Amino acid sequence: MELLEQLCGIHAPSGNEAAMKEFILEYVSKEKKHWIVQPEIFSGEQFQDCIVLVFGKKPRTAIFAHMDSIGFTVKYGNEIVKIGGPKTQTGYKLTGSDSKGPIECEMDAPEGSKKSFYTFEREIERGTDLVFKCDFRQSKEYIQSCYMDNRLGCWNALKVAETLEEGIICFSTYEEVGGGSVGFLGKFIYEKYGIQQALISDITWITKGVKDGKGVVISMRDRGIPRRIYINQIIHLADQSGIDYQLEVEDAGGSDGLQLQAAPYPFDWCFIGAAEDNVHTPDEKVHRHDIDCMVKLYQYLMKHL
Amino acid sequence: MELLEQLCGIHAPSGNEAAMKEFILEYVSKEKKHWIVQPEIFSGEQFQDCIVLVFGKKPRTAIFAHMDSIGFTVKYGNEIVKIGGPKTQTGYKLTGSDSKGPIECEMDAPEGSKKSFYTFEREIERGTDLVFKCDFRQSKEYIQSCYMDNRLGCWNALKVAETLEEGIICFSTYEEVGGGSVGFLGKFIYEKYGIQQALISDITWITKGVKDGKGVVISMRDRGIPRRIYINQIIHLADQSGIDYQLEVEDAGGSDGLQLQAAPYPFDWCFIGAAEDNVHTPDEKVHRHDIDCMVKLYQYLMKHL
Amino acid sequence: MELLEQLCGIHAPSGNEAAMKEFILEYVSKEKKHWIVQPEIFSGEQFQDCIVLVFGKKPRTAIFAHMDSIGFTVKYGNEIVKIGGPKTQTGYKLTGSDSKGPIECEMDAPEGSKKSFYTFEREIERGTDLVFKCDFRQSKEYIQSCYMDNRLGCWNALKVAETLEEGIICFSTYEEVGGGSVGFLGKFIYEKYGIQQALISDITWITKGVKDGKGVVISMRDRGIPRRIYINQIIHLADQSGIDYQLEVEDAGGSDGLQLQAAPYPFDWCFIGAAEDNVHTPDEKVHRHDIDCMVKLYQYLMKHL
């Protein structure tokens, strides 16, 4: 889990994903010689801070994993405002940096107030973005850290890459703030490769119907409603695979799937990922078995879908 | 009204429109020999569950009719969550099916609770979608059923098809949950046929300003605001036509028009349809005269716009 | 400021921007002979009521200025509903016209009611759109009028046009109601000119962190979060320019930037504009120094970005 620990510690809130892009590009360039198929790598200004990896000659399915995390932006005075939907709590440790140097400060979220603040030895420059300080914890059964959502989704994609023969992996940006890169990524893979099938490699929630340790989650819907015919096909394959999985039905929450559905290309999408406890806090916790099943199901689906 | 009754009884909530697609494709294939012009028919994977009918060599205007209905998804325990915005009320009859067979159950919507449940003799499989049971009622003046919104919009499009010489009909999906197919449908008809004019064949609401039996409704705005120049052109033609119509002005509600406006193509759109009472219940009620005017105005506009 | 006064008085709420289009086209046709570079002018049905001006052979950056204003639509009885988010207050003067002639009426916004009404000597036709009556006021330090947002943004673009050598200016529509033209404008300039850099020429708010008279505002974020790497580049250039500027950090508010980010093209965008007091009222007030800095910073950025 060394790779996952590294990913969880990278500073990359929505809009500022450059460090994740650099890390993944370097990782791919170093590791790909061990992979079964050498992917074609697309990045650069036409892709903003996104990365597209194309494996094989006839990819049929694309994995989307968003690189950005939730976080905070320093506003005026010592107020901070949210990037996406992080939980707030007095005492949470936040990190970042401005022109005066590195920052490690604490959150102050007064009871009954909707505003949050930082406490630090000096003023932080306006517009500086802060993220949860990473405290990566492993036990026999669980892995716990900030930003399992969605560094674990990225990690899953990189694991699947090792044995992937035909398929595409898109590392996207801005997901936690409603998207903005999935449109042009979708355009690229639809127009160049005719891709219409997508899997959203992301992390979902432990709920009344989704338990930790019971396998990877296939989401039948959240706020977005994917095409049933595609979901049924995936559930059918999951049954064949013998891998532990759980079905999710929610009416809230969204993902890059919503952005794909809104884009002017006929994409089918399905959210598949492990579920976490302590959502959007520094303590997101995922069961190892669910992670294991996530990788295996992606491997199976990328072959058979 | 046999066709409308059939349409209202088809199980096709948002995301699961395949049965409507099959029904319409079959209907068109059987009936088109009676039509003035034989349309070119586009469907298949590039169109998901949508259908595009193209009449004539130089179509100028496209009709959009969404095939999906509101409904419910079975969540955990016996809870159900909404697909779109259906009204809930204890006693409403719901139908569907899962791998154990057909389902006809009842809704339980406890006073003061935001949650709804089903009551049935057995557990229904997670993720099963349920729709209102169809009770199609005709009187001398009214037609009443679930899903007049938007099976009546589809029916209108199929009626207009009979005499259509130049124009396009798009049967879209996902409308009740914010869209997802209008983008690629718009792309297709804009890029292939240069279409920029759209009419949204959908059903609106009886309100203080819109009465039953007073003619088809031309909506000047809802949450979406179409281009005034196009609306004025349509009102001008409606005046010329001599057909009964009413003007609507709302600041809530949306349609496929909103999706068209958001798409990266320069579409003008106008919502035109009969108004119903008992919106989003099993008892949607529309006046026959308004239906009659709806078909006539579409026929007139498709010729003169 | 004669041009700005003219712009503020033009009737052009969202959806009804034709009069602004005509005015700007005429202005450009008359004035462009005094400009350093003669732009290529794109307008017409493919652009709805938008205008695109292209300066030079290799434009790198596009300015977006929305032409529409907030306003009201006449509903039923004497109720009026909002176009975008105008403030309401009894006594505000509204103007417009219907088939019976010109209208100057007064707003009635009863305390504690969410509804607003007009008071006029006769009934106004359903669907008529009304805007604030323009009362253009100049003092030594301030300019005050309705619709500084965004006629000042348009004025800024036309000032920058005078000396622009390479670059694009897009006059957009529908911004106050969530957009609808930026998608196809973005498509056009991305596909034809490879443009990926945008500046949003719009007006923002005086707040705790943004003061009048302290220079033009560079917004680091609002509801939308632009790419940090692009914002940093702009701030770096602003530092070099020596022009007074202020940094803004908000978590509410949006602009054409949000629409650009949602479009399926890899656009970077940054909102840059003067700040106003009395937002979305007939009394929007902007400091002359901030206007001055706005024009200068745009001139500098269009050259160096």
How far apart, in whole angstroms, are the C-alpha atoms of residue A32 and residue A54? 12
Q: Backbone phi, then psi, for B76, in 5-degree steps? A: -110, 155
Beta strand B167-172 with B61-66 is: parallel
Q: Which pLDDT score, from 0 to 100, does residue B100 have?
A: 97
Q: Which pLDDT score, from 0 to 100, does residue A49 have?
A: 98
How far apart, in whole angstroms, are the C-alpha atoms of residue C198 and residue C261? 10
Least CA distance to B208: which residue of chain C?
C76
Least CA distance to A75: which residue of chain C?
C249
Three-state DSSP state, C68: coil
The token pair at B277 is: 């009472």
Chains with 3+ CB–CB pairs under 8 A to A are: B, C
* CB-nearest partner of B81 from A208, A247, A249: A249
Residues 6 or more apart whose CB falls under 8 angstroms from that of A125 comprise A74, A98, A99, A100
Write out chain A residues lying below 8 Å of B14, CB-based.
225
Write out chain A residues lying below 8 Å of C247, CB-based.
126-127
Three-state DSSP state, A98: strand
- pLDDT bucket at A74, cuts 50 / 70 / 90: very high
* CB-nearest partner of A15 from C226, C247, C263: C226
Least CA distance to B12: which residue of chain A?
A228
* CB-nearest partner of A209 from B16, B76, B179: B76
Contact between chains at C77 and B208 (C-beta distance less than 8 A): yes
Contact between chains at C81 and B228 (C-beta distance less than 8 A): no
The token pair at C185 is: 């404008």
The CA angle B180-A177-A201, to the nearest 5 degrees, is 70
Contact residues, chain B to chain C, C-beta under 8 Å: 196, 207-209, 220-221, 224-229, 231, 247, 249-251, 261-266, 268
Write out chain B residues lying below 8 Å of C187, CB-based.
264-265
Residue A243: its H or E element:
none
Query: Sign (positive/negative) of CA torsion B48, B53, B56, B58?
Result: negative
How far apart, in whole angstroms, are the C-alpha atoms of residue B256 and residue B200? 7
Tell me the count of A-B CB pairs closer than 8 A: 75
Q: Tell me if the bond preceding B150 is cis, omega within 30° of 0.
A: yes
The candidate with the shortest Cα–Cα distance to B127, out of A290, A214, A294, A225, is A225
Cα dist from C21 to A153, A203, B35, C50, C141, whole Å: 47, 47, 43, 7, 30
Average pLDDT of the segment spanning A48-73: 98
Q: Which pLDDT score, from 0 to 100, does residue C285 have?
A: 98
* CB-nearest partner of A127 from C196, C220, C265: C220
Is residue B113 classed exposed, middle or buried when 0-12, 13-18 and 19+ CB atoms within 10 A define those classes? exposed
The token pair at B118 is: 């089903």
Chains with 3+ CB–CB pairs under 8 A to B are: A, C
How far apart, in whole angstroms, are the C-alpha atoms of residue C83 and residue C240? 40
* CB-nearest partner of C249 from A48, A74, A264: A74
Query: Sign (positive/negative) of CA torsion B4, B8, B10, B14?
Result: positive
Write out chain A residues lying below 8 Å of B18, CB-based.
228-229
Average pLDDT of the segment spanning A19-47: 98
Q: Which amino acid is at B160?
A: V
Per-residue pLDDT of chain B (305 residues; tens, 9 = 90+): 999 999 999 999 999 999 999 999 999 999 999 999 999 999 999 999 999 999 999 999 999 999 999 999 999 999 999 999 999 999 999 999 999 999 999 999 999 999 999 999 999 999 999 999 999 999 999 999 999 999 999 999 999 999 999 999 999 999 999 999 999 999 999 999 999 999 999 999 999 999 999 999 999 999 999 999 999 999 999 999 999 999 999 999 999 999 999 999 999 999 999 999 999 999 999 999 999 999 999 999 999 99
Contact between chains at A225 and B177 (C-beta distance less than 8 A): yes
Average pLDDT of the segment spanning A260-287: 98
Which structural domains are found in chain B, ordered by start? Answer: 2-69+137-304 (3.40.630.10), 71-132 (2.40.30.40)
How far apart, in whole angstroms, are the C-alpha atoms of residue B242 and residue B228? 21
Least CA distance to C225: which residue of chain A?
A15
How far apart, in whole angstroms, are the C-alpha atoms of residue A196 and residue A61? 7
Contact between chains at A264 and B262 (C-beta distance less than 8 A): no
The token pair at B18 is: 């395949």
Distance from the Cα of B243 to chain A's closest Cα (Å) equals 36
DSSP character string of C159-202 = HHHTT-SSEEEEEE--GGGT-SSHHHHHHHHHHHH---EEEEE-
Contact between chains at B129 and A250 (C-beta distance less than 8 A): no
How far apart, in whole angstroms, are the C-alpha atoms of residue A141 and residue B235? 67
Contact between chains at C221 and A75 (C-beta distance less than 8 A): no
- What are the tens digits of pLDDT across the range C138-161? 999 999 999 999 999 999 999 999
Residue B48 near residue B21 (C-beta atoms within 8 A): no
* CB-nearest partner of A127 from C196, C247, C266: C247
Q: Backbone phi, then psi, for A285, in 5-degree steps? A: -125, 130
Q: Which pLDDT score, from 0 to 100, does residue B128 have?
A: 98
* CB-nearest partner of B226 from C15, C46, C83: C15
Least CA distance to A194: which residue of chain B?
B46
- What are the tens digits of pLDDT across the range C60-72? 999 999 999 999 9
- What are the tens digits of pLDDT across the range C257-298? 999 999 999 999 999 999 999 999 999 999 999 999 999 999
Contact between chains at A207 and B76 (C-beta distance less than 8 A): yes
- What are the tens digits of pLDDT across the range C224-251? 999 999 999 999 999 999 999 999 999 9
Query: Sign (positive/negative) of CA torsion A217, A220, A223, A225?
Result: positive
- What are the tens digits of pLDDT across the range B24-83? 999 999 999 999 999 999 999 999 999 999 999 999 999 999 999 999 999 999 999 999
Least CA distance to C265: which residue of chain B?
B264
Token look-up 């890899």 returns C266
How far apart, in whole angstroms, are the C-alpha atoms of residue B125 and residue C267? 44
Contact between chains at B262 and C180 (C-beta distance less than 8 A): yes
Average pLDDT of the segment spanning A181-204: 98
Q: Which pLDDT score, from 0 to 100, does residue B108 have?
A: 98
Contact between chains at B127 and A227 (C-beta distance less than 8 A): no
Contact between chains at B46 and A224 (C-beta distance less than 8 A): no
Q: Which amino acid is at B221?
A: R
Query: What is the pLDDT of chain A when averaged over all its residues?
Result: 98
Contact between chains at A250 and B81 (C-beta distance less than 8 A): yes
Contact between chains at B262 and C76 (C-beta distance less than 8 A): no
Contact between chains at C225 and A76 (C-beta distance less than 8 A): no
Least CA distance to A260: which residue of chain B?
B180
Q: Which pLDDT score, from 0 to 100, does residue B224 have?
A: 95
C280 half-sphere exposure, CB direction, 13 A CA radius: 16
Residue C14 near residue C176 (C-beta atoms within 8 A): yes
Contact residues, chain C to chain A, C-beta under 8 Å: 196, 207-209, 220-221, 224-229, 231, 247, 249-251, 261-266, 268
What are the residue ranges of helices labelled H in chain A?
A: 2-8, 18-31, 148-161, 182-193, 228-241, 256-262, 288-304
Q: Which pLDDT score, from 0 to 100, does residue B282 have?
A: 98
Q: Which amino acid is at A117?
A: F
* CB-nearest partner of B225 from C83, C181, C265: C83
Residue A20 near residue A6 (C-beta atoms within 8 A): no
Distance from the Cα of A89 to chain B's closest Cα (Å) equals 28
Average pLDDT of the segment spanning A249-268: 96
Cα dihedral A173→A179→A185→A191 (10° resolution): 180
Strand extents, DSSP E, chain A: 40-42, 51-55, 61-66, 71-74, 79-83, 93-98, 101-108, 116-119, 129-132, 137-138, 142-145, 167-172, 197-201, 204-205, 216-221, 245-249, 268-273, 275-277, 284-287
Query: Sign (positive/negative) of CA torsion B18, B24, B29, B30?
Result: positive
Q: Which amino acid is at C98?
A: D
Residues 6 or more apart whose CB falls under 8 angstroms from that of B17 comprise B49, B67, B68, B173, B174
DSSP assignment letter at B118: E
